[in-house]
Structure 1
Amino acid sequence: MLTYYYSRGSSSLAAHILLIEVGARFDAVEVPISDGAHRAPDYLRINPKGRIPALQTPDGLITENAAILEYIAATHADAATVPSDAFTQAQARALCAYLGTTVHVAYAHARRGDRWANLDASLADMKARAPQNLLSCADFLEKHFVSGPWALGGKFSFCDPYLFLLDHWLTRVGASLDGFPKLSAHKAAMMARPATRQALAIYAE
């Protein structure tokens, strides 16, 4: 049995979708970031990083979206969300790494700027630049990565739920996927999957 620690409105949506998609047996424990629960002593004893998401497995705790997504995929092989060849597996990891280290960080500058700066002017500048930076990331993904209909071509894989978050991040900084036909088609394909709709319903409660 797995235990998944999540928060509504956070990037934990990605792995939540995949857990449902692969038919994983898991308990979901909400740790509301808006209430500061991710910084509470009880949660810090579970995940000293104080970040969401986290996945408790029989072998120990896994943190970071990219690692959680790949673990879920690798331990539910029947769902076939791990690409079958080494190159495409590497491409999936590369996409997850880019989403985690570049795209997600660009979004965090608008919502979690106090991780990097204290001055009001610095925080305001980061927030103001977030839409431009995220749109630049979307442009890169549209032109150089996403082949469609899924992130890596014709088959759904473990990186697709993470890419799905791009639309949410853009929306929350006042931007959109307008002008990005491949990314818009990817969003539509994700929304057509029952697992996506089921996870979104949890996050909307």
Structure 2
Amino acid sequence: MLKLYYSPGACALASHIALEEAHADYELVRIDLSKGEQKTPEYLAVNPAGVTPALVSDDGVLTENLAIMWYAAATHPDAGLLPPDDAPFELARMLRVNGFLASALHPAIGKVLFARPPLEGEARAQALEPALAKYDIVEHHLLKGPWVLGERYTVADGYLSVFSRWLRLADLLDPDRFPKLNAHLTLVQSRPCVQKALHMEGLHPA
């Protein structure tokens, strides 16, 4: 059985959603970041980077959402979470979005929302606008609608929803500035598998 190490509401939610949408057989292991459990010797033996997510499989350990989401989808093809094999450009588009979310958007908004000590005043304002500019790129260039790739749900949708959810919870997902992102988040959160993943983490739709 697969074992997913996660922290509630953190970016590991994307991997959790992917496993649930894949109808995979898995168990959850909660890592409490506020208590520093990600830095314990036991967890560092699983993921030396000391972050979540981490997925333990019969073949070994995978870290990073991009790898875990792809693995969940590829090993459960009947769930249809990836573009078909005969659509390499669509797969490349999905990977482009996931890469942008991981390398550009996540670090930018993470700095605003989760910096320790928290950013305040001018420092926060200076970090916020570049982060929101990353969301503008998704809104206007990467999110086709209604799903990321158009009519087909993929693991990119669950991944994007994590970051849109953070922004909505912070009251920063302005419906006038981000109408497509707001509609997309609401649509993703209407999916039963997403609702189940949120419930399992003690969370609610934003």
Relative to the length of structure 2, the TM-score reads 0.89
1:194 alignment partner in structure 2: 192
The residue number in structure 2 matching 1:107 is: 109
Residue 75 (structure 2) aligns with: 75
The residue type equivalent to 1:185 in the other structure is: A
Q: Following TM superposition, by how much is the alpha carbon of 1:133 offset from its aligned partner in structure 2, in angstroms? A: 2.4
**Structure 2 counterpart SS, 1:204:** coil
Deviation string for 1:17-58 (max 9, x for gaps)?
A: 111111100011001111110011110011101010111111
Return the alpha-carbon distance in structure 2 between the equivalents of residues 141 and 81 of structure 1: 20
Aligned to 1:185: 183
Q: Which residue number corresponds to residue 172 of structure 2? A: 175
Distance 1:7 1:162 in 2: 15
Contact 1:131 1:175 in 2 (8 A): no
Contact 1:3 1:56 in 2 (8 A): yes
Residue aligning to 1:117: none
Compare 122-131 and 102-111 and name the one that shifted more. 122-131
2:160 match: 163
Shift of 1:126: 5.2
Q: How does 1:116-135 map to 2 (within 5 A)?
A: 124=120, 127-135=124-132
| Cα distance change, pair 123–187 in 1 and its aligned pair in 2 (3 A) | closer
State the alpha-carbon separation in 1 of the partners of residues 171 and 187 from structure 2. Answer: 23
- The counterpart of 1:146, out of the listed 143, 146, 153, is 143
CA-to-partner distance for each residue in 1:103-125, whole Å, 9 max, x for gaps? 110122124546xxxxx8x9556
State the identity %. Answer: 36
- CA deviation digits over 1:88-141, x for unaligned, max 9? 111111111100111110122124546xxxxx8x95565333432232112111
How far is the alpha carbon of 1:3 from its aligned partner?
0.5
Could you tell me which runs of 5 or more consecutive residues in structure 1 were left unpaired when the two chains were aligned: 115-119
Counterpart of 2:61? 61
Residue identity in the other structure for 2:162:
L
CA displacement at 1:172 relative to structure 2: 5.0
Superposed displacement of residue 174, structure 1: 4.2
CA distance in 2, matches of 1:177, 1:66: 27
Q: Specify the alignment match of 1:22 in structure 2.
A: 22
Specify the code of the residue in structure 2 equivalent to 1:202. M
* Structure 2 CA distance for aligned equivalents of residues 201 and 126 of structure 1: 35
Number of equivalent positions: 199
Structure 1 contact 131–173 (Cα < 8 Å) conserved = no
8 Å contact 2:165–2:185 — kept in the other structure?
no
CA offset at residue 80 of structure 1?
0.8
Match of residue 93 from structure 1: 95
TM-score norm. by structure 1 comes to 0.90
Distance in 2, Cα, partners of 1:87 & 1:95: 12
